Amino acid sequence: MKTFKSIKSLRKYILSLKKEGDSIGFVPTMGFLHAGHIELIKKCVSENDISVVSIYVNPKQFGEGEDFSDYPRDINRDMEILENERVDILFYPENSEMYPEKQLALVDVRGLSDVLCGKRRPGHFMGVATVVLKLFNIVNPDMAYFGQKDAQQLVIIKKMVKDLNVSVRIKSIPIIRDDNGLALSSRNSYLSNNEKIIATQLSKALFKAKSMIENDNILDPLKIIDFIQERLKKTGGINIDYVEIRRLTDLSESGIIDRKDCIVAVAIYIGKVRLIDNFILGEI
């Protein structure tokens, strides 16, 4: 595996590969890799001639008081995982490389970035979209891979790519969960063993809600939201940030659940740890 910290050096190497006709697959990450990342990486490696993974904790997507400084990092462990997965290229830049001066050009996907998590974290998705576009321009991939746990992020990136005519195909994989149903996240490392047990109630509530829609034909969003909220409120240690049901295509609200175009999204706090989870009906 070749490791690059320089944008110029990576671009030069990617260009040489492109001239040879190699297809480039790309998985952008913030590191502290888990099984969800590994599924994305496996897909990338299997479907492309050359696989590229970036590890970069992007400061622009963290708000004031959020966990940028504390975000889990372990580059040696991550590099060992990437070697084992036969990744060809690691891009591991410093902040001074990605933002050598004040960033004035920002990507704002309006209408999609100010709902759900975006409403609670102002500027977050502007930071995400901006760094992802920068990475696309640096790596110049043919395909890029994202997980459905961050479904709003995925919808935003797909819209950005479409609207700005970015020449990359976006592919996604379903949420990867642990044996107890907890959606995998780097932030799960913040949880104690007891808190992880509490957190499993989130996925259990979502699984039941999905069954209510698909099997019991309950299509009133308020009934599904009320069920999830009541179930989570009965669990000690959980504070609900939001429970929302929206159209998957444009994240707009709907008076009735469309089983071919729906996302049920939840964010909670367990102590100071914010967790998100969702299920989707339709294709993303």
Catalytic residues: 37
168: CB partners within 8 A, 6+ apart: 26, 136, 141, 142, 143, 144, 161
- Other Cβ atoms within 10 Å of 42 Cβ, number: 16
Residue with tokens 């979209």: 129
Burial of 281 (0-12, 13-18, 19+ CB in 10 A): middle
- Is the separation of the CB atoms in 132 and 89 below 8 Å? no
**186 and 150 in contact (C-beta within 8 Å)?**
no
HSE-CB of 257 using CA atoms within 13 angstroms: 25
Look at strands 239-246 and 89-91 and give their pairing: unpaired
Q: Which residues of 81-113 are buried (b: 16+ CB within 10 A; e: fewer)?
A: bbeebebbbbbbbeeebbbeeeeeeebebeebb
- Exposed, middle or buried, 153 (CB in 10 Å: 0-12/13-18/19+)? buried
Secondary structure element (H or E) that encloses residue 267, with its range: strand 262-270
What tokens does 127 get?
């930071």
